A and B are shown apart, each in its own frame.
Chain A
């Protein structure tokens, strides 16, 4: 926390009292109920988790340079990919956009003073931290080797690692998602400023709303699943292992009932971010606004009935396979609608290429590939060959990194001036965006080929025929790592040395750009009245 906020304590010169300099001291942060400060607490926490998870990925990619494994014993390698998965899924990608940007922006974007339940908001951060500490503690004291998917009976009765402790950490963190989701739903329903009707809301709000619905409805299911896993592991109650009377596939049904919608918890908020970036840097209202908004809700609904596509090769009945395949194709359509509408937004726009826009363009390209390669896996016949291979790994990294992480980085850059009152160095940011794009493709594109060649995922050692592709992938990871590291440095640098941003450095629309940077604690000194979101062609909204 201290690194991200220390410099900002000086206060930006052009504004008076704001949420950063209104009070000082560690207590004023740890006991804050200001949604903006809580957003920053999350920013620091998830950035730390990203570094830990990223470090695990670096070690894995180094290890896989040689077929027999360059660094680790298989047992240790298994713990590393498990740690990477658990941290990146539960402690980074799920909370990243909603808990940082969502917390900071949702009340401001709808013209509210704070979220509906500010104390609950702080509680969810503490819940997150407790879950994170338990999980990190378990990892440090020996780790867990089940994969982030925790499939029993391996996880319940066979693994010798700290399954229970990590499961408890994930279980607790789930409540943070539920509380945040609940808070956002109520906030969006009840706290909108006069004139902010549903179809005037920024698309980021629509995306956050759909995400919150999934989090509130889905997360309890994974919590129950983890409890059942704990019952079998600790008390040997037969639930999943047939040796004690259980059903080994029951867990997978329950786990994916949450974890597939969770994929959309991870990608919908970044989609919302991209909508905001594209509209701001092309100075156009998003093309097909209501189609983009409704496609978020459609995704949220359909995502709950596609879980069986993770189980096409488990011996699930042919008919179940057919139904889940159809439904999985259906969930692809709303994503396609978004892509086309974003592209059409650029038409006859006034487009500039600052770093956030570069990230948004990267998102469109990479998410298109991520989505289309999903068709290979929704299609039953090809899924049989590709399931469980590196093709899957490549596919979900195109969506989760090429999509979610890249949009998150774009969003952080876009709202950085608002959050801190300072500009980041644009040239460095463009260079980093380019490095991330190139490094990402070099890392993960070879993994599609690897998967089609038949290399299974989660292999600590592998046959020599896959080495060339693995080396390419590891080389790309080093570029990607540099691309991630540069923003970390210049963003921290900008806290002290960045140019003052002014209220609206991008000439963007939206309530957040009408107030000072950093915003005052109460957000709006006079309650806003909203007439039109994305009013780029109309008058007003001066560019500073």
Chain B
């Protein structure tokens, strides 16, 4: 039977081919691997230590006579304190090391190239701001920080690129982000790492890391499409958003020119910076981010626009902001 056959074939080549380390292809991978190696060292050290002591005692103090009664050992406070404090100090070292790495790895560089990821049962939809879309494939240039803004159209997914050591949930109803900077060209797996139903294990794809010139050529070679912002602008007109959000600021809704990245004081008293998440919220649940000087008349667009279209609208609003700021300068 094929199953057993393949099992034996595998066992035959097993020892030569047991993989120990995934490729390390991003700027953060080396740092993670060093910490991993350190932790492996700690684990081996203490496991071997405990095993050796146990074996040594078991041999040395084996029962030699059926009725022997060993004398009581008293508890030494100094010993108890030692094996409480030493592991604690080791934990402090690991915590400081890992936390600083994590904080560092959590902040995308300001100049990151942006791309957008939508998870849906069971595929990854990737959208480049210039327009091209991909399914279960992600083309990126090498040596450039890339920030992925992610959401899900249905259940919770998780975008995981082992070779880059990055992972983040893609959640319905909100945006999460991760970033990486690839350090070598090549193709690497990405996976869905949060169980999402029947074909969860087929929700995988490839990252294609290309030289910047190859990447530019790849962008140009694709089917000519409008940029996300242009598509968003068309959608903005189509949905009639402009009838309230008049650019000059005298409409029933606020002008959206230049709002991106600025703090806004909401009716609730809270002040929030206008980012992708807030714009999404304003489209889907407008009342939750009501502005003080406007009537709460905006309808929800939940169900009328899908996540892809929301991202296009967000891109459009962002493009208004950047123009405005450029003009202002």
> Which positions in A face B, CB cutoff 8 Å?
62, 65-66, 70-71, 74-75, 78, 145-147, 149, 151, 153-154, 158-159, 241-243, 247-249, 282-285, 287-291, 313-315, 318, 321-322, 325-326, 329-330, 332-333, 336-337, 339-341, 343-344, 346-353, 361, 364-365, 368-369, 372-373, 375-376, 378-382, 384-385, 387-389, 446, 449, 452-454, 456-463, 465-469, 471-472, 474-475, 536-537, 543
Contact = CB atoms under 8 A, between A and B. Distances in A.
Nearest to B67: A543
A452 B22 contact: yes
B87 to A, nearest CB: 4
A446 B20 CA distance: 10
A214 B121 CA distance: 37
Decide if the interface of chain A is mainly helix, strand, loop or mixed: helix
B198 A75 contact: yes
B101 A381 contact: yes
Contact of A373 (B19, B43, B61): B43
Interface stretch (B44-52, B124-132, B255-263): B44-52
Nearest to B64: A350
Contact of B168 (A315, A373, A462, A536): A315
Contacts of B197: 78, 145, 154, 158-159
A375 B94 contact: yes
B62 interface: yes
Given A288-B75, A351-B58, A453-B162, A381 B172 contact: no
5 contacts: A153-B156, A242-B173, A352-B63, A381-B35, A382-B32
A348 B68 CA distance: 12
Contacts of B222: none
Contacts of A343: 50, 53-54, 57
A468 B10 contact: yes
B46 A376 contact: no
Nearest 7 pairs of A and B residues by beta carbon:
A454-B162, A242-B173, A379-B98, A380-B102, A459-B201, A388-B193, A346-B57
Interface size class of B (residues with CB under 8 A): 35 or more
A452 B162 CA distance: 8
Given A318-B102, A343-B54, A388-B193, 8 more contacts: A65-B3, A70-B2, A282-B61, A333-B88, A376-B36, A384-B102, A389-B193, A471-B7
B105 A289 contact: no
Contacts of A364: 50, 54
B247 to A, nearest CB: 31
Contacts of A373: 43
Contacts of A146: 195
Given A65-B6, A243-B172, A462 B43 contact: no
Nearest to B152: A248
B42 interface: yes
Given A154-B156, A468-B14, A337 B39 contact: no
B252 interface: no
Contacts of A461: 201-202
Given A350-B69, A352-B62, A458 B200 contact: yes
Interface stretch (B78-86, B268-276, B321-329): B78-86
Interface string B1-44: 01100110011011001111110000000011001100100110
Of B51, B68, B73, most buried by chain A (CB within 10 Å of CB) is B73
Nearest to B85: A333
Contact of A536 (B14, B18, B69): B69
A379 B93 CA distance: 10
Nearest to A372: B43
A364 B53 CA distance: 11
A385 B162 contact: yes
A162 to B, nearest CB: 15
B160 A388 contact: yes
Given A158-B121, A325-B98, A379-B98, A336 B7 contact: no
B295 interface: no
Contacts of B204: 463
B75 A369 contact: no
A454 B61 contact: no
Contacts of A291: 75, 80
B116 to A, nearest CB: 16
A348 B101 contact: no
B163 A468 contact: no
Nearest to B31: A381
B54 A361 contact: yes
Contacts of B176: 314-315
B158 A369 contact: no
A336 B80 CA distance: 11
A348 B11 contact: no
Contacts of B195: 78, 146-147, 149, 151, 154, 457-458
A35 to B, nearest CB: 32
Contact of A456 (B57, B80, B105, B193): B193
B298 interface: no
Nearest to B44: A372
A460 B14 contact: no
A319 to B, nearest CB: 10
A321 B6 CA distance: 43
Contact of B199 (A74, A348, A375): A74
B3 A66 contact: yes
Of B3, B13, B162, B201, most buried by chain A (CB within 10 Å of CB) is B201
B191 interface: yes
Contacts of B54: 343, 346, 361, 364-365
A465 B19 contact: yes
Contacts of B198: 74-75, 78, 145
Given A74-B201, A288-B75, A315-B168, A375 B80 contact: no
